Amino acid sequence: MNTTCSYSQVVAAMNAQSPDTAAQFNAAPMAQSFLQNFLAAPPPQREQMLEQAQAVPEAAQYVNLVGPIAKTCDKY
């Protein structure tokens, strides 16, 4: 995941592309913290973080959004 988008860009993209999931994300401090840490991490660590998050059922819906949002978040 080599996105250069900021946290605010990713959240804006999520709000635009998947409003229902964004609403759940915005109500989940743990998910917000994970995303901030994810974006601050170098790419090799991001891969590890995604693998770990996929093992958590509550996080799976957000993990599945990362790819599509990472491709378009620079527009926000």
Entry pTM: 0.83
Structure tokens at 41: 């991490």
Q: Report the pLDDT value the prediction gives residue 11, as an integer from 0 to 100.
A: 94
DSSP string, 3-67: ----HHHHHHHHHHH-HHHHHHHHT-HHHHHHHHHHHHS-HHHHHHHHHHHHTSHHHHHHHHHHH
Tens of pLDDT, residue by residue over 17-74, are 989 989 988 999 988 999 999 999 998 899 899 888 888 887 877 787 777 888 899 9
Domain ranges of the chain: 7-75
pLDDT classification of 9: cutoffs 50, 70, 90: very high
pLDDT at 1 over 70: no
